[in-house]
Amino acid sequence: MAVTRADVVVVGAGAMGSAAAWWLAREGHTVVLLERFEPGHVRGSSHGRSRIFRLAYPDPFYVELARRSLPMWRELEDEAGTALLTTTGGIDHGPAVSVRPVARALEERGALHELLPPEAAAERWPGMRFDEAVLFQPDAGRIDADATVAALQRRAAAHGAIVRFEDPVAAVEPSADGVAVQAESGEYRAPVAVIACGAWASSMLDSLVSLPPLDVTREQVFDFAPRGDAAWPPFIHHRRPYLYGLDTPGRGVKVAEHHTGLSTHPDRRSFDIDPEGRDRVVGYVEEWFPGLDPEPVGAETCLYTTTPTEDFVVDRIGPLVVGAGFSGHGFKFTPLVGRLIADLALSRSGPERFRLP
């Protein structure tokens, strides 16, 4: 079997693995990026036309992470020559007891925001109805997820990374002098390997690394056609369960429940739409969105991989760097997490990037 040597082998070419490969390759390091499936596949968590970018969190830590991510998005756009993040402003609304902590966290980190009564919000965004308290944050927007992952892979390759699709990894074998990655195409050896394979992280790292529990769930989203030309900023509705949505050019307005899917295995998951979940979202649209036709014009499924706290796993253990548990709210941090993973792979002080000043 052929042996290829590199500075870093990255297993998993989703958002975070591709971002890490981009940062590493643009610094001149030899990188191999291995992906089990074809480009743009729909089996994991990184596909789709749109993701929400927002600073609006009740935790100042995540407000700061999003704030630091924003210039990195612009850096990626400039290098790729592609628009990826469109700033539209975004809305949080719901009970004041849930929305006001978001306002306090934004204020603590010096982020612009505006609290509105629901009547004023309905005048500004007539296609929507609003709950008790409404918060507008002008830095929020829409990320083109498919274009982002493709841009990261393309730019990593342009900087010299070997990017291999449809090349499943059978084993990761740490040793005293680094790590050997056994893939279908051959063996890859490096001082360090990055494991960023999403829903497959637990099985890939079984017996190698002690991970927090990673729950893999099958989620679903629905697209609805607007009834007019009203603006559709990204929104988070604070209720049980949370619902979210945003305009997705070419598809309509995406609306979905947050984290209501059943646990599954990534190799045995279904792509079928749950009819009860569909009915709940349709009922929600009928109640809260007078500007949308409540009959879905599209639907798709994806996988969430989350820790019990919905915090991320970003760490180095010996020659292995692990990035996992980003689903549900991690995509907005893609270039920052990629930078952190790259720092850890190069034994730099990456964790400092996650500490508030």
Backbone angle region of 177, left / alpha / beta, with phi > 0 → left and psi within -120 to 50 → alpha: alpha
Question: For every residue of 246-266, which 3-state class applies, written as one string?
Answer: EEECCCEEEEEECCCCCECCC
DSSP state letter for 165:
S
* φ/ψ of residue 222, rounded to 5: -130, 145
Residue pair 198/312 in contact (Cβ under 8 Å)? The answer is no
Q: Which pLDDT tens digit goes with each residue over 293-328?
A: 999 999 999 999 999 999 999 999 999 999 999 999
Q: Is the peptide bond before 174 cis (omega within 30 degrees of 0)?
A: no
pLDDT digits (tens, 9 = 90+) for 247-270: 999 999 999 999 999 999 999 999
pLDDT at 229: 85
Confidence (pLDDT) at 353: 47
Six-digit token string for 103:
């306002």
Look at the alpha carbons of 83, 84, 88, 89 in this order and tell me if their dihedral is positive or negative.
Answer: negative
Alpha-carbon distance of 96 to 11, in angstroms, equals 43
> In this predicted model, what pLDDT tens digit does every residue of 206-253 receive, in sequence order?
999 999 999 999 999 999 999 988 889 999 999 999 999 999 999 999
pLDDT digits (tens, 9 = 90+) for 147-202: 999 999 999 999 999 999 999 999 999 998 999 999 999 999 999 999 999 999 99
Query: In this model, does residue 289 exceed pLDDT 70?
Result: yes
Tokens (6 digits) for 127: 């296609």
- Gyration radius from the chain CA atoms: 20
